[in-house]
Chains A and B, each alone.
Chain A
Amino acid sequence: MDDPKAIIETYVDDVVRHLPRRQRHDVGYELRSLLNEDLDGRAADSGRPADAATALELLTAFGRPQEVADRYRPAGFTVIRPADAPGFARLALGGLVLQWAVTLTAAFTTPAPTDAWIYADSWWGRLTTWWLSWGLGSFWWPGFLITLTLISAAFARRRPEAKPWTPRRTLDRDHVNRPAIVLGLAAGMLGATLMIALPWLAVWAPGLPQPLLDAFAFDPQFLHRRAVWALPLWAAGFAVQTVVLIAGRWDRRTRLVRLVLGLGWLVLLGWWLAAGRIFAADAADGTARLGLLLVVGFVIVDIVVTVRRTPASIRPPVVRA
Chain B
Amino acid sequence: MVDSPAGQSLKLEQDLRKGVLVLAVLSQLRTQQYGYSLRQALAERGMPIEEGTLYPLLRRLESQGLLASQWQVDDGPPRRYYTLSVQGAEAYRELTGAWRSLTSVVDRLVDEEG
Contact = CB atoms under 8 A, between A and B. Distances in A.
B50 A61 contact: yes
Contacts of B52: 61-63, 67-68, 71
Contact of A41 (B34, B36, B57, B63): B36
Nearest to B35: A34
B42 to A, nearest CB: 14
Contacts of B36: 34, 37-38, 41
Contact of A34 (B55, B57, B60, B63): B55
A153 interface: no
Contact of A71 (B35, B40, B57, B64): B57
A45 B63 CA distance: 33
B97 interface: no
User: What DSSP secondary structure best describes chain B's contact surface?
Assistant: helix
A72 interface: yes
A27 B35 contact: no
A63 B50 CA distance: 10
B22 to A, nearest CB: 13
B78 interface: yes
A72 B77 contact: no
Interface string B33-51: 0111001100000000011
Contact of A74 (B50, B53, B63, B80): B63
Contacts, number: 45
Interface residues of A, number: 20
A34 B56 CA distance: 12
Interface string A8-33: 00000000000000000011011101
Contact of A33 (B53, B59, B79): B79
Contacts of A27: 59
Interface string A24-65: 001101110111011001000000000000000010011100
B51 A34 contact: yes
User: What DSSP secondary structure best describes chain A's contact surface?
Assistant: helix
A62 B50 contact: yes
A26 B79 CA distance: 11
Given A38-B36, A72-B56, A33 B50 contact: no
Interface string B95-107: 0000000000000
Contact of B56 (A26, A38, A58, A68): A68
A27 to B, nearest CB: 7
Interface centre among A30, A38, A61 (most CB of B within 10 A): A30
A228 to B, nearest CB: 65
Contacts of A62: 50-52
Contacts of B56: 68, 71-72
Interface centre among B50, B59, B79, B80 (most CB of A within 10 A): B59
Contacts of A35: 51
24 contacts: A27-B59, A30-B55, A30-B79, A33-B78, A34-B34, A34-B35, A34-B55, A35-B51, A37-B36, A38-B36, A38-B39, A41-B40, A58-B51, A67-B52, A68-B52, A68-B56, A71-B53, A71-B56, A71-B57, A72-B56, A72-B59, A72-B60, A74-B60, A74-B64
Interface of B: 34-36, 39-40, 50-53, 55-57, 59-60, 63-64, 77-80
Closest 3 CB pairs of A and B: A71-B56, A62-B52, A63-B52
Interface of A: 26-27, 29-31, 33-35, 37-38, 41, 58, 61-63, 67-68, 71-72, 74
Given A34-B51, A38-B36, A74-B63, 5 more contacts: A30-B35, A41-B36, A41-B40, A63-B52, A71-B56
